[in-house]
Amino acid sequence: MQRWLAVAALFISMHAADAGQVRGVPQIVDADTVYIGQTKIRFNGVDAPETDQVCLDAAGKTWTCGIEARERLRSFSKDREWSCELTGTDIYRRSLGSCGVGGESVSRWLVQNGWALAFRKYSTEYVPDEDLAREHQRGLWGGTFIAPWDWRHRSNSTEILGALSVPSTAQRALVSNTATNAAPPTGNCLIKGNLSSTPQCIYHAPGGRFYDRLSMQPSSSRRWFCTEAEAQAAGCRKSKL
């Protein structure tokens, strides 16, 4: 009985440690993941484009919408202090939380301005904000794009979202090109991610033993990262060789 109580107390204390509040100026990895100190935080209820994600603008031209979303969040933050309420952890051991700055919800700002979507799989809290962004064609909604959760497992049959005014031929090209595009999004994004590794994805930095051996041929299991922090935020660990 005493042993059972001890185990139960440990379980409760572990989950209690996942909750709480952290404050500080964040290091913004992408538009839905930040570090505050040593705490890696994934925003509750929203999903933003990946940093290697490309979208189409109103004219049907490609643009690096994932990087743009991150930079817009950085501009909004302006090195101000954030306050984040933590509610638990996800399967990648990131803290889940809701953050605010200057009295404004960061997640709501992202969704209202079209830089993230309501992650309906986990929450419907931000659906009205997404409807507002879609109505006014803000951010991603000004062109066409793939929902971030579909982008991570995209194929030629992936659904396209966004403005109907974008030429249909360009919309089809978005899926076709992104499903086969193995090039890094910018010249500085040179870290290779192998998402098919088990039990945890592995990233390889230039100069690593297996860096040149890892093919980045078209596959949803391959991803380019711009920084090691970004790779770690995606739940990857660095190759030991």
DSSP 94: P
Please tell me the predicted confidence (pLDDT) of residue 49.
94
Lookup result for tokens 């009205």: 128
Q: How confident is the model at residue 168 (pLDDT cuts 50, 70, 90)?
A: confident
The yes-or-no verdict on residue 13 having pLDDT over 50 is no
Q: What is the mean pLDDT of residues 108-135?
A: 97
pTM above 0.85, yes or no: no
The Cα 43–Cα 99 span in angstroms is 7
- Each domain of the chain, given as residue ranges in start order, spans 2-181, 184-241
Please tell me the predicted confidence (pLDDT) of residue 5.
41
148, 117 Cβ separation under 8 angstroms: yes
90, 32 Cβ separation under 8 angstroms: no
Bridge partners for 238 per DSSP: 203
| Domain 2-181: top CATH class | mainly beta
